[in-house]
Structure formats: structure tokens, C-alpha cells
Amino acid sequence: MRTIIAGSRSIKDFDVVEEAVEESGFDVTTVISGGAYGVDRLGEQWAQENGIEFEVYPADWNDITHPDAVVIMSKWGKPYDVTAGSRRNEQMAEVADALIAIHDGKSKGTQDMIDRAKKHGLKIFTKTIDLAEYGDKKRLSLQQQTIEWAKSVRANTDAVVIDTESCGGSANDEIIALAIVRLHNGEPLFNSYLRPMEDVKFNWYATQVHGITKKQLTNAPQLPEVWDKVYPLLHNNHVLAYNHSSDKRMLIQTVNKHSLDVPEIRWDCIMKAYKKFTLRSANTNLTQACAEMKVKAGTHDALDDALAAARIMYRIEQNYKIDETT
């Protein structure tokens, strides 16, 4: 069936469109789209992902010379034809067999599309979405998925958590401390300071954060000296870190600088998992996360921070209720 997929601009979740098409039971052969933001564009995306042709019938809001045009001024002071959307809807209804309408209960344009589809005798499936309620369900579903993910990852007894400290973040800098612990029980597997090459300069700010000075590393091994111990713990393994992008970048940068074999690693970020678990829009630093989850915090020491990150994963698996007053 040639099927219009239309709806409110306020609906921006692809899953809603996918669910609506499935629930309609329509055999969609061609998607008819109005080309607007929201459901229309998501309908086009659904067509592309399912290998189905789609046709776009955009409303010409700027054609103020049309004989049926009703011209008003936009809030930006530009004249436009307010009836262009209705004419577009009529044109789509004339060439379609069915309509899947996804409505937020407020959109006049979506209701106009439904009314025109009825007039033309189209098959109609309507899905009305309470955006606030749907958003809450979506967020809670994401939280539950994160809990289940934490359970599955912690069930892998080979998975590890790492933490690194570096002398800075420039392209020539190296990690100067590395700790690796088992995720499921916190067992320390490796923990050592690392001496960088002589060409490395210590960033003042980085030193203020972790307190490690160049003098402290005089007798520490360089990464190649311990790589035979570290490599097997990381290669072909599931490796997690809190804010993993920083640890990943600096570890690989140091490995490449010393011309070592780069391990194949499946990386995951505990900070991103915590963001999903807490249903927040912004990330939470490790110290604050530990306070909220009532676990021992790290101290910008690699081993302490790796253990703290592992404890956060344990709390996520527990579905620990955060004390929001912390």
C-alpha cells in the first residue's frame, strides 16, 4: 500500500514510528511523506532502513501568489502561505491508499491530515502519544537496560577496569601510572608507576591533580618493561574505565610511542553507563558518583580510581537508589 506516514513535529523518536508501522499491520510498499521535521522525516528514515521507496510532497510555504493562499507574517517578519500545509495534505491523500498518523494530541496539521484521509476513504491507523508519559517510559526502559547490561558485563569474570594517570594530554605525553583490576571482584591484576621517555615534559595542571612528579618515577619501569604482563590482561578482553575516552587515548598513544603491539580491546565507559542509569542529561565525575552511590571514592591514584569505578558498576547492577540530597 502507498502509505502516508505523517505526524507531529514534536515527536522525534524513531522507535515511535517503527512501533506504529508494525502495529498498523499495513503492507507498506511506498511511503508518502510531507517532508516536515518530526514524524515525516522519521517515516522517510524508516523507508530507507527497510529498503522501501518513498515520495516527498513538501509544502510550499513561500508561494504567496497561489490563488488560495492565505498570507500572514511569520515571527521573523517574512510573509508565508498558512494554507500550504493543508494543500500538501490534500495532495498526499489523493495519491495514497493508507495513512499512519502519529499524533501528540495537539498538532492541527496532523489532525488535518487525518480528516483528509477520512474524506478520501484511506485506511487509517492513528497512534496518539503523550510525550511526557512516553518520555518517562523511555527513560525508565533505558535505566533498566543499563542495569541488565551491568549484570551481564560483571558476569564476565575476565572483564577488567583500568585507570591511568598521565603527565599531560598533548600528543607527546604518556601514561605514568596504570592500574588494572577485575571487574567482578576488584582483584588487582596490575598496578605500577611508569617512567616516560626523556622527551616528555610534565604538565603543571596534571601534576596538581594526581601529585606524581618526574622525580618519583626515577626508578619506575617504562611501559615496554612490563608490557608482557599488561598485554595479556587487555588483548581480546572487555575493558572498562570511568571516562574511558581519556584512558583509551593516552594508553594507545603511549603504546604507539614505544612501538609496542596494540591490543585488540572492547572498550566500554562506566561514566556513560552512570549517566544512563541516573537518567541525567550530563555526565557525573567519579568523585560525585561515589558520593551518590555511597562507595569509597578514588583519590586520583590509578588503583584507587579503578576500584572506585568497579564499585560504581556493582551499584548499577544492584539498582542502588541514589540519595539525591548528597
Cell numbers representing residue 21 in the block: 508501522
* Tens digits of residue pLDDT in 17-38: 998 999 999 999 999 999 988 9
Q: 64 and 176 share a domain?
A: no
Radius of gyration of the chain (CA): 28
Q: 122 and 144 share a domain?
A: no
Task: Give me the CATH number covering residue 168.
Answer: 3.30.420.10
Neighbours of 91 (CB within 10 A): 15
* Number of helical H runs and strand E runs in the chain: 11, 12
* Domains identified in the chain, total number: 2
Q: Is residue 325 a part of any domain in this protein?
A: no
Residue 200 has pLDDT above 90, yes or no: no
Q: Is residue 259 a part of any domain in this protein?
A: yes
pLDDT of residue 241: 97
Of the candidates 81, 103, 114, which has an alpha carbon nearest to the alpha carbon of residue 16? Answer: 103
Please tell me the least confidently modeled range out of 75-79, 242-246, 269-273: 75-79
Give the integer Cα–Cα distance in Å for 220 and 193: 6
Q: 47 and 157 share a domain?
A: no
Of the candidates 303, 215, 222, 214, which has an alpha carbon nearest to the alpha carbon of residue 257? Answer: 222
Q: State residue 235 phi and psi, 5-degree precision.
A: -65, 130
Q: 162 and 300 share a domain?
A: yes
Give the integer Cα–Cα distance in Å for 145 and 277: 9
Q: 36 and 101 share a domain?
A: yes
Instruction: Give Cα separations from 15 to 26, 57, 124, 128 (angstroms).
Output: 17, 23, 20, 14
Please tell me the least confidently modeled range out of 96-110, 189-203, 205-219, 272-286: 205-219
Judge if pTM exceeds 0.75: no
Assess contact for 173 and 214: CB atoms under 8 A.
no
Q: 106 and 174 share a domain?
A: no
Q: State residue 31 phi and psi, 5-degree precision.
A: -95, 130
Q: 112 and 192 share a domain?
A: no
- What single string gives the DSSP state of each residue in 62-114? T-TTSTT--EEE-TTS-EEETTHHHHHHHHHHHH-SEEEEEE-S--HHHHHHH
* Tens digits of residue pLDDT in 138-192: 777 888 999 999 999 999 999 999 999 987 767 788 899 999 999 999 999 999 9
Give the integer Cα–Cα distance in Å for 284 and 275: 7
pLDDT of residue 326: 47
Q: Is residue 184 a part of any domain in this protein?
A: yes
Share of the chain above pLDDT 90, in %: 63
Q: 78 and 37 share a domain?
A: yes
Q: Is residue 176 a part of any domain in this protein?
A: yes
pLDDT of residue 201: 76
Q: Is residue 324 a part of any domain in this protein?
A: no
Length of the chain in terms of residues written: 326
> Could you tell me the sign of the dihedral formed by the alpha carbons of 76, 79, 85, 91, in that order?
negative
Q: 153 and 290 share a domain?
A: yes
Give the integer Cα–Cα distance in Å for 277 and 191: 29
* Grid-cell match 569509597, residue found: 296
Q: 172 and 54 share a domain?
A: no
Q: 169 and 313 share a domain?
A: yes
- Domain limit, last residue, from 108, 129, 150: 129
- Domain limit, last residue, from 129, 154, 188: 129
- Domain limit, last residue, from 107, 129, 151: 129
Q: Is residue 323 a part of any domain in this protein?
A: no
Q: 11 and 107 share a domain?
A: yes
Domain that holds residue 59: 2-129
Q: Is residue 326 a part of any domain in this protein?
A: no
Q: Is residue 217 a part of any domain in this protein?
A: yes
Task: Give me the CATH number covering residue 72.
Answer: 3.40.50.450
First to last CA, the chain: 56
Instruction: Give Cα separations from 29 to 48, 54, 124 (angstroms).
Output: 12, 9, 16
